[in-house]
């Protein structure tokens, strides 16, 4: 067994039945703690062998315990991953990785991309963030296949709208994919570049949502004006995301603020549609848009305020943290938005 293990154990089948207790203890490797089972009285030697076999099992389990449960088998096959499977406390991290001071445990210290991928099969404080994106992405892909296979045909959607109703979920899916990539590999040296990729995915998703629904809500000159206004409102956040000179961390707050202003601008075409749009269409669609806006606002408020971990530091490190709530909220909004777009093409 590798020398990095904390102790070693002789295989059970190497101990012959009928061995004495004294002889059995001599077979235990150095560093293995002996736990007495109490007086044996007049028990047969076979019972001693049974107790010996159990002790060997316990010793072997203790030798694997630092590797963490089911990860032990993987660590034996890939010894370089052993350290990556350990969960760390916040004080063990470099200052650049301490993004939330209220999440105290459950951190990864992956040394390679392979270790990051293996970590998807383990539970840590990024598990919910990653898998909420992956699961929602799978659901969205299945819905998109169903849309193009049958739903568009059943609703007799024209080619132009079919293209639009396909592009919008693809943009949402790109956001989910980039977010999953970032949260999988954010403990590697490439974390900064992946963060910018994640933000670009968010930008693409939000802008596509606003432009797509604006195109569905208006016709003629009103559509041109609102689309032009939305593109102009999205330009500052695009420049802060795409231009290399603005990719430094000191521009992060500016990126977020410009995205927030664009989100506020989206209320302008939505308000115009609510006031002047077809009453039946507004009645069918406005509640969905309000639900998305409220859910995103609440999720963002939770994310910014660091609640509930701010109130109970360390209690929600693995499940229930603000960042995880944000991802679940975004996933719900993506699925709602996908269904909402069909309200614009259903027969009235």
What local confidence, expressed as pLDDT, does residue 96 receive? Answer: 81
What local confidence, expressed as pLDDT, does residue 109 receive? Answer: 87
End-to-end CA distance of the chain: 71
Confidence band of 14 (pLDDT split at 50, 70, 90): very low
- Taking the C-alpha atoms of residue 4 and residue 186, their distance in angstroms, rounded to an integer, is 27
Q: Is 289 annotated as a binding residue?
A: no
Q: Is 124 annotated as a binding residue?
A: no
Residue 107, pLDDT > 80, answer: yes
Instruction: Return left, alpha or beta for 310; rule: phi > 0 is left, psi -120 to 50 is alpha, else beta.
Output: alpha
Confidence band of 65 (pLDDT split at 50, 70, 90): very low
Q: Is 183 annotated as a binding residue?
A: yes
What local confidence, expressed as pLDDT, does residue 63 receive? Answer: 39
What local confidence, expressed as pLDDT, does residue 266 receive? Answer: 96
- Among 26-35, 165-174, 312-321, 338-347, the minimum mean pLDDT is found in 26-35
Residue, of 99 and 143, whose pLDDT is higher: 143
Q: Which domains does the chain have, with CATH numbers?
A: 12-67 (no CATH), 84-117 (no CATH), 120-344 (1.20.1070.10)
- Among 40-49, 219-228, 314-323, the minimum mean pLDDT is found in 40-49
Q: Which residues of 111-136 are buried (b: 16+ CB within 10 A; e: fewer)?
A: eeeebbebbeebebbbbbbbebbbeb
Residue 230, pLDDT > 70, answer: yes
Residue 107's beta-bridge partner residues? 88
Residue, of 38 and 329, whose pLDDT is higher: 329
Residue 340, pLDDT > 80, answer: yes
Tokens of 17: 């039945």
Q: What is the mean pLDDT of residues 292-299?
A: 96
- What percent of the chain has pLDDT above 90? 71
Residue 88's beta-bridge partner residues? 107
Residue, of 89 and 63, whose pLDDT is higher: 89
Closest to 209 in 3D by CA, of 345, 341, 328, 303: 341
């Amino acid at each position: 067994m590798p020398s990095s293990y904390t102790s070693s154990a002789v295989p059970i089948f190497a101990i012959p039945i009928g061995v004495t207790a004294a002889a059995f203890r001599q077979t235990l490797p150095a560093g293995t703690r002996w736990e007495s089972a109490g007086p044996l009285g007049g028990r047969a030697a076979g019972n001693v062998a049974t107790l010996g076999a159990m002790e060997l099992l316990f010793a072997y389990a203790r030798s694997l315990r630092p590797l963490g449960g089911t990860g032990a088998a993987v660590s034996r096959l890939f010894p370089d991953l052993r350290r990556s499977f350990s969960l760390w406390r916040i004080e063990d991290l470099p200052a650049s990785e301490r993004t939330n001071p209220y999440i105290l445990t459950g951190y990864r210290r992956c040394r390679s991309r392979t270790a990051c991928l293996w970590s998807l099969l383990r539970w840590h404080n990024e598990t919910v963030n990653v898998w909420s994106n992956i699961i929602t992405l799978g659901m969205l892909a299945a819905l998109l296949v169903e849309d193009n296979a049958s739903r568009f045909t059943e609703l007799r959607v024209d080619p132009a709208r079919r293209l639009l109703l396909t592009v919008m979920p693809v943009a949402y899916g790109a956001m989910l994919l980039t977010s999953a990539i970032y949260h999988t590999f954010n403990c590697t040296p490439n974390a900064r570049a992946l963060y910018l990729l994640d933000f670009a995915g968010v930008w693409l998703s939000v802008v596509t949502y606003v432009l797509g629904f604006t195109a569905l809500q208006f016709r003629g000159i009103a559509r041109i004006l609102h689309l032009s206004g939305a593109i102009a409102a999205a330009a500052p956040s695009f420049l802060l995301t795409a231009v290399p000179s603005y990719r430094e961390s000191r521009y992060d707050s500016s990126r977020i603020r410009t995205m927030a202003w664009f989100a506020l601008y989206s209320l302008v075409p939505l308000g115009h549609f609510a006031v002047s749009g077809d009453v039946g269409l507004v009645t069918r669609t406005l509640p969905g848009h309000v639900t998305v806006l409220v859910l995103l606002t609440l999720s963002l408020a939770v994310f910014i305020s660091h609640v509930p971990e701010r109130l109970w530091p360390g209690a929600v490190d693995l499940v229930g943290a603000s960042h995880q709530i944000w991802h679940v909220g975004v996933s719900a909004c993506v699925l709602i938005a996908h269904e909402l777009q069909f309200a614009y093409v259903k027969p009235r």
